[in-house]
Structure 1
Amino acid sequence: MRGMTIMKPQVQRIRDLTLVRREGSRVLVIGCDSSASIGNKPMDVIQTPPDIAGYYAARVAVMEVLSAGADILTVIDTLAVERNPTGSEIIRGIHRLLHEAGLTDAHVNGSTEDNFVSCQTGIGITVIGEADEEQLKLGCSAIGDCIVMLGEPLVGSAVLEQEAKQCSIRQLQQLAGAAEVHDIHPVGSKGAGYEAVLLAELNGGSFQALPGITEKLEASGGPATAVIFTIEKSNLELLQTSIGGKMEIIGHLYQ
């Protein structure tokens, strides 16, 4: 209507996430990830079934969006492989991951490459979620919070061999839904120490690691097999009881 002022969307990048703020209190949260040379094609460096490649490619982007406290709206796969048989197997792995998150096949859309023969696997994943502004778990930690790791940083063959040590999608959803949990960061290839420093900086503080855990802080988290989060120490025991899994304090947030 004439005379009305329409607010333009405000776009912000935090970590590997893009936030889009529109009129109202709902915020779009967008994450993405890519995977190359992991599959069963002749030129793939790491030989693995395509459904496994699809599962873990989707896991990274899904965990990024869930960790921000957002509900997932849709998952888009852009596959640099033919639809059949490789693409269908990758999509099957994506569906398995999403079913763990309580989503359905209808949440997935995407495309494949059927014009040219591919000899190497390429996967792109984009995840779009939505959250209320006050529910975002970004920059909401308090000085003095302890920084806790849930799950074990795993990479390569250890990801499949030690699956029980990973932070599950369900556990992450429980963390995101817990009011006593503040920021959550998935652990990527740069390790938990890198994510802890980033988390502290986003909250105007600094990270002080516990002594003797440098090796664990530097270990690659591969496809986000672990997460770190902040919480008041007095709330940690009850959270551990309700969620389960291995939780370990790795340091504290200081001014």
Structure 2
Amino acid sequence: MRHELKIGEWVITSDNSAAIGEKPQDAVAAPDRITAKFAARVALLEQWAAGSEPEVILLHNFSGEAQWNRYVEGIKEQFEEIGIEMPQLAGSSETNMPTLQSGIAVTMLGRQKRELPAEGLQWFIYGKPLVGPDVLDKSEQIAEVRKIYDALNKGIIERVWPVGSKGIASESSRLFGRKLTVSAELDLEVSGGPASCVLIGVRPEQSEAVKQHFGTYVYSLETETPR
């Protein structure tokens, strides 16, 4: 579960992964580079959800010294994917004690730069909720970060909200700050893993542009406050 923090104009976001990587006892086998890329993906999407852009990255590596460069490579790849330079990065590695399973956390610090309109938006889900091996096996169903970034910059969408382990229904309630009844053509309770899908808010006049921009895997989200 994610927890973002705002201090003045600064926004702090973070994501972590455990037992996912290249160690023999990891629960999910995945390249270390990909593990770090997805952790960076979630922290980055949380920055955008707060209307901010990351300026500093902290990498917490519990896997060992050998994994550091692979993790950095994965984080860098996420920023290359959207066509911007990776912010300055610092962090540390566990080198005193060998660990049997992989562990990583990525924290981003950014400053709020965009307004976050809340009223009068139409909401969609982009991507499908995936977790574990499905993230690698069904990658074509994952929301593309580059498309989200372009849509924000072009004014096609006003807001983005990543879906985490609690699922679409829970994230919808968090987004709106109240318990909601939601409906869509997707499982609303299953985990979204590393933000494989996101909620996107658009002005009604942009609803068709959204479908054209994102293409497949865009679903309408209907919300209602229980009586």
Q: Deviations 1:138-158 (Å, cap 9, x if unpaired)?
A: xx2215x33210111111221
Give the aligned partner of residue 247 of structure 1.
218
Counterparts in 2 of 1:63 and 1:103: CA distance versus 1, 3 Å: same
Give the aligned partner of residue 5 of structure 1.
none
Q: Which runs of 5+ in 1 are unaligned?
A: 1-14, 22-26
Shift of 1:182: 3.8
1:217 aligned counterpart, secondary structure: coil
Q: How many residues align?
A: 225
Q: Which runs of 5+ in 2 are unaligned?
A: none
Contact 2:180-2:223 within 8 A present in 1 as well: yes
Query: In the alignment, does 2:3 pair up with 1:16?
Result: yes
Shift of 1:65: 0.7
2:105 aligned counterpart, secondary structure: strand
Give the aligned partner of residue 153 of structure 1.
129
Letter in 2 for 1:209: V
Q: Deviations 1:82-140 (Å, cap 9, x if unpaired)?
A: 222x22222221221122233435532221122232222110110111123xx233xx2
Cα distance in 1 for residues equivalent to 2:118 and 2:127: 21
Contact 2:52-2:110 within 8 A present in 1 as well: yes
Task: Decide which structure has the larger Cα Rg and report it.
Answer: 1
Counterparts in 2 of 1:208 and 1:237: CA distance versus 1, 3 Å: farther
Shift of 1:80: 0.9
Contact 2:156-2:209 within 8 A present in 1 as well: no
Contact 1:66-1:172 within 8 A present in 2 as well: no
Contact 1:79-1:123 within 8 A present in 2 as well: yes
Cα distance in 1 for residues equivalent to 2:225 and 2:152: 23
Cα distance in 2 for residues equivalent to 1:240 and 1:53: 29
Letter in 1 for 2:115: L
Give the aligned partner of residue 24 of structure 2.
42
Give the aligned partner of residue 82 of structure 1.
64
1:218 aligned counterpart, secondary structure: coil
Among 66, 72, 96, the residue aligned to 2:48: 66
Contact 2:122-2:207 within 8 A present in 1 as well: no
2:161 aligned counterpart, secondary structure: strand
Give the aligned partner of residue 109 of structure 2.
128
1:236 aligned counterpart, secondary structure: helix
Contact 1:192-1:217 within 8 A present in 2 as well: yes
